[in-house]
Homo-oligomer: A and B are copies of this chain.
Amino acid sequence: MPKAKYDTIYRDLKEKIETECFSYQELLPSEHTLVQEYGCSRNTVRRALAELASDGYVQPMQGKGVRNIFQPITQTSFTVGGIESFLESALRNHQKPRTKILQFAELETGEKISRRTGFPLGTQLFYLQRLRYLDDVPLILDHNYFLKELMPGLTPEIAEHSIYEYLEQTLGFTITTSKRTMTVERVTQVDETYLDMNDYNCMAVITSQTFNADGIQFEYTQSRHRPDHFQFQDVAVRKKPG
């Protein structure tokens, strides 16, 4: 439950922007005004504005003001954004999620898997293969490696629903950082077996290493998406060369 003031202000402004209380290119109220509106210090307002800027919602301009540069997106396919479970993404995309467990195994990392996944050598892992349906169409094939030590009670039943929900709700886990790599790879035998690839010979692949609040990597996942239902979104801010 984030009850921090800056977070409240951030969410409030974010919603106002999304519901177009400010039109595209319009200036937001000045920091001074917001301070009075929200009854807080300037730093707190600035923190909220900084988050909106890193979301690509606004652009602060020294001496001028803060400009709204949010444009609603027309999403036609499955959109990946921040760290989300499949369940959360599906709901946000207004699609019906379903998961089928293809494999549920345990293993210990050898040299090769260790280097690929980032887990130390000799670590006990769960290995899962999961087929993800959206509106009853199989679109995503997940290969998951989870750190067994942190979730010894993991079962196929949990994995069929939502592992993230289990970790956060049941185990009181906090998920924080995820390092992701997007590539395009050739279709494999397994892909073709479970997904209707039409005649696509490529997959959109996201590999991710995810860390908990203690900075421990607890997950390595390769998520293989059918190309025609995949979209990844991102906002980047330019850092001056130096």
Contacts and interface: CB of A to CB of B under 8 A. Distances in A.
Interface of A: 1-2, 7, 11, 25, 53-54, 56, 59, 61, 64, 67, 69, 71, 77, 81-83, 88, 118, 175-186, 199-204, 211, 213-215, 217, 227-228, 230-242
A215 B11 contact: no
A63 B86 CA distance: 32
B211 A71 contact: no
Given A54-B54, A83-B236, A61 B2 contact: no
A45 to B, nearest CB: 16
A177 B211 contact: no
A240 B11 CA distance: 12
A171 B176 CA distance: 40
Given A2-B242, A176-B237, A177-B236, 9 more contacts: A7-B242, A59-B213, A61-B213, A64-B214, A178-B235, A182-B232, A184-B202, A200-B201, A201-B201
Contacts of A181: 231-234
A184 B230 CA distance: 7
A69 B237 contact: no
Contacts of A215: 25, 59, 61, 67, 69
A25 B241 CA distance: 29
